[in-house]
Amino acid sequence: MSREYIIPVFIPHAGCKKICVFCNEYSATGIRKKPDENNLNDIFNRYIEYFPENVNPYIAFYGATFTGMDIELMKFYLNWAEEKIKNGLAYGIRFSTSPEEITEKKMNVLKNYTINFIEIGIQSFYEDIIKAANRPHDLNNVWNAIELLEKYDFDYGIHLMTGLPKSSYYKDLNSAVIATFIGAKSVRIHPTVILKNSTLEKMYKNKEYTPETLDEAVEKVAKMTEIIEANDKKVIRLGICLYGKERENVVAGPYHDSFGDLVRSKIARDIIETFAKDKLIVPMQYKANFIGFKKSNKELLEHSNIEFHNGSKFLLNNIELKYADILKILLNQNFIL
């Protein structure tokens, strides 16, 4: 798969009608004001200089409820990005938003732009979790948004979180199961991390909220990823993305710089353990995950019958299988699917 190049533009909390308990975009990004045209061009040029020549990047608006902004402000950002696309400098536009701000009126504006991907923050398919997180939407808004995105034929992904107030192991796993039934192209998952100056920080200090441990979060997110990828959907960007000194704004919770690698190592470990008595040949592209983060699976791998090859398919006892098939067998054996 060729690498995608993304120019992230953060517009902290623009369009947010409520502030979610886990969120503080100022702490997460270190950015306090909405970028104006000069800022936008500076950000764009900085990334273009850093990227290899002749790549066609996506412009992505993050940290906001993009379609919750005043329509004129939303159009200002869209027009700026569309201009770059018209001039052959960018490939398309992406943004994240909240489901209640996906409406027929806004779809009619968006359809005039080169939108390649919309991420909707759902966080959970449980009403009590959404409410306890102070999300600005309910489940009706989620189903409406999905219907509209599919009607207008936009590629979209959803964002899920684990360990929110009122969540449990099986509620979070069930959200992953429901995600497999909708038309989302991909799912992003991150465990709840307590950020400085968020409502959750107060709840944590008042002993009203206990975060997951890192091990719990890795185990749960790995299982959710197995469920989603067993159904041929992609899980992208595991874990919360924090850069530079913004990492110092983590008060508590399962934050790890290499959270995605920990999850991929855990999934590989589950595969090694499940197929311990079989003859399994694994495509080389998965080898690093099988060895594990900091070689955590190396010993287990050395005591298994697993081998690697240059083909693109898995071979289980001489039968060719896709990665999704391997995960399906794994989940069946663990009574999850």
Query: Binding residues for ligand SF4, per CB under 6 A?
Result: 13, 16, 19-20, 23, 25, 63-65, 98, 121
Closest of 77, 58, 52, 54 to residue 7, by C-alpha:
58
Between 130 and 267, CB nearer to ligand SF4 = 130
Q: How far is the CB of 302 from ligand SF4 (least distance, A)?
A: 43
Cα 203 to Cα 55, 126, 128, 197, 265, distances in angstroms: 45, 20, 17, 11, 32
SS3 83: helix
Cα-based torsion angle of the residue sequence 273, 290, 229, 123 in order, rounded to the nearest 10 degrees: 100
CA–CA distance, 197 with 203 (Å, rounded to integer): 11
Between 67 and 225, CB nearer to ligand SF4 = 67
CA–CA distance, 73 with 133 (Å, rounded to integer): 27
Closest of 313, 310, 322, 139 to residue 233, by C-alpha:
322
Between 160 and 282, CB nearer to ligand SF4 = 160
Q: How far is the CB of 168 from ligand SF4 (least distance, A)?
A: 21
Given a contact cutoff of 8 angstroms between Cβ atoms, the answer to whether 240 and 193 are in contact is yes
Q: How far is the CB of 68 from ligand SF4 (least distance, A)?
A: 8
Q: How far is the CB of 216 from ligand SF4 (least distance, A)?
A: 22
Q: How far is the CB of 58 from ligand SF4 (least distance, A)?
A: 19
Between 121 and 163, CB nearer to ligand SF4 = 121
Between 16 and 85, CB nearer to ligand SF4 = 16
